Amino acid sequence: MRTSMALLAASAALLLMVSLAAAADMSIVSYGERSEEEVRRMYAEWMAEHGSTYNAIGEEERRFEAFRDNLRYIDQHNAAADAGVHSFRLGLNRFADLTNEEYRSTYLGARTKPDRERKLSARYQAADNDELPESVDWRKKGAVGAVKDQGGCGSCWAFSAIAAVEGINQIVTGDMIPLSEQELVDCDTSYNQGCNGGLMDYAFEFIINNGGIDSEEDYPYKERDNRCDANKKNAKVVTIDGYEDVPVNSEKSLQKAVANQPISVAIEAGGRAFQLYKSVSLFNITVLR
């Protein structure tokens, strides 16, 4: 089935959308109270829970040092949260044996291109007479698909773009069809770089120029760069005929756009607190313009 539609991309910040695992439900106390024996026991429990194994000589000990340093950071943060300083808590999630540098290099994939020409229009310019809903939940309307996991591949840009295409296709046709991030990773290589990062705008341009995008079922996600499958690339299940950027630095414009359809956005998720988050009621996120 083919559909024709326009698509939106938020121009606010294109650094990363990443799927994070929930943290283990462990009691966090002040780091000073933990003995070496306790930390190693927690590390062994964490390894068993996450199925972590290390083959290289010395690698398990290196991972332990990263784990211990992250645990210290978690304890200090959560002690401050208990005192009302923070509104969110950290925990030992699946990234707990990575340094922040390793986490950033593995999972952060969206890139910015300062000299890129933005596709702007007046359609979503905020106006004083706009009557906009206070909230809209596209999940309840069926325009947001199931949660996906990019794994150890910096393909967040592809997931963000595909989710927006899936959403507008559902609004137009009534069908929620999971589409192929892997096709973008493998085939959209003129400007984007697969697991090494990319930009959602270029992904939209690829889909338009290719005449569509294949389904996830036909071209499933592999969590790595592969050679482009030309036959599957030509299986065009859904297409779009355009996209545009939401005006920058305007929350009203963003509200106006979201009132019409799900949009493609990315957030700066490279901070250590984001890497190790457990639960949150209010997260202070800096959006780069």
pTM of the predicted protein model: 0.75
Q: Tell the CATH superfamily of the 6-19+109-274 domain.
A: Cysteine proteinases (3.90.70.10)
Tell me the three state secondary structure of residue 88. strand
Domain ranges for the chain, please list them: 6-19+109-274, 31-92
User: Tokens 């990363």 identify what position?
Assistant: 16
CA–CA dist 6, 152 (Å, integer): 31
Determine the residue type at 111. Answer: R
Q: What is the pLDDT of residues 202-253, one digit of tens each?
A: 999 999 999 999 999 999 999 999 999 999 999 999 999 999 999 888 899 9
**What confidence score (pLDDT) does residue 117 get?**
62
Q: What is the pLDDT of residues 63-113, one digit of tens each?
A: 999 999 999 999 999 999 999 999 899 999 999 999 999 998 888 766 655
Angle CA(230)–CA(233)–CA(235) in degrees, nearest 5? 120
Cα–Cα distances in angstroms (integers) from residue 52 to residues 9, 23, 93, 97, in the given order? 37, 15, 12, 9
Give the residue with greater pLDDT, 248 vs 284.
248
- Residue 77's H or E segment, with its range, is helix 59-82
Q: What is the pLDDT of residues 26-62, one digit of tens each?
A: 444 444 579 999 999 999 999 999 999 999 999 999 9
- Residue spans of alpha helices (H) in 36-175: 36-50, 59-82, 100-107, 156-173
**What confidence score (pLDDT) does residue 21 get?**
37
pLDDT band at 201 (very low <50, low <70, confident <90, very high): very high
- Residue 233's H or E segment, with its range, is helix 230-233
